[in-house]
Amino acid sequence: AQTVTQSQPEMSVQEAETVTLSCTYDTSESNYYLFWYKQPPSRQMILVIRQEAYKQQNATENRFSVNFQKAAKSFSLKISDSQLGDTAMYFCASHTSGTYKYIFGTGTRLKVLA
Amino acid sequence: NAGVTQTPKFQVLKTGQSMTLQCAQDMNHEYMSWYRQDPGMGLRLIHYSVGAGITDQGEVPNGYNVSRSTTEDFPLRLLSAAPSQTSVYFCASSLRTGSNQPQHFGDGTRLSIL
């Protein structure tokens, strides 16, 4: 079965500091894709970053980067220079071509403190 | 530039009533899906479709029906609403499955069953 686990229900970080959100996944597929989405209080779901499992290089998007550890099935999100606008719920998700499904974790609520 | 459009945004139903949540996308996306979001449970997949005329069950399909007669539309039907179906519902689409294409989400429907 395809599963995604986020073990940190809530986190907080001071503005301008760095924070890392954890995500582990499980799949029997060899071809899969991983995503982080952000959901601010507006309820919109916004793509933050994505990673192809076949790529060894960690993805980066401006202040957002991932630490993809394929053997450990870990896909953590690092936010550098945290900003008040980063306050949101963050969801980790996996997608496999074999099952056609996108599976989401339970989310981590991040609060950036001024 | 509409993207994924969900209607209605809010709805209150009585137990036993039926209704249809509408979802339309104008991006010619192959893949469409429905999720429900409940506190502490993340997004759970209800049903998905990999193309017109093809639908399949997700993690929590009971009490819901879908159909995909066109590429653009993917309505979700509640046959006999129950209080346990009180939730926020999201429709999402992506260009194709089995790729790094992320899902594009609608703004969600907050549904309350009394």
Which whole number is the average pLDDT over A95-106? 87
pLDDT of residue A97: 78
Q: Which residues pair with A66 in a beta bridge?
A: A77
Q: Is B105 on the interface with A (CB under 8 A)?
A: yes
Q: What is the pLDDT of residues A27-69, one digit of tens each?
A: 988 889 999 999 999 999 999 999 999 998 999 999 999 999 9
Subunit contact B33:A6, Cβ cutoff 8 A: no
Residue A99 has pLDDT above 80, yes or no: no
Cα-based distances in Å from A56 to A47, A52, A68 = 21, 8, 8
B66, containing H or E segment: strand B64-66
pLDDT of residue B53: 95
Categorise residue A111: left if φ over 0, alpha if ψ from -120 to 50, beta otherwise: beta
Scanning B12-51 for CB atoms below 8 A from A yields 31, 33, 35, 40-45, 48, 50
Given pLDDT bands bounded at 50, 70 and 90, which one contains residue B1?
A: low
Residue A26 has pLDDT above 90, yes or no: yes
Residue A12 has pLDDT above 80, yes or no: yes
**Cα dihedral angle (A86, A90, A95, A101), rounded to 10 degrees?**
-130
Q: What is the pLDDT of residues B26-76, one digit of tens each?
A: 999 999 999 999 988 899 999 999 999 999 999 999 999 999 999 999 999
Nearest-CA distance B90 → chain A (Å): 9
Nearest-CA distance B97 → chain A (Å): 6
Given pLDDT bands bounded at 50, 70 and 90, which one contains residue B2?
A: confident
pLDDT of residue B8: 96
Which whole number is the average pLDDT over B4-24? 96
Which whole number is the average pLDDT over B84-112? 93
Residue B82 has pLDDT above 90, yes or no: yes
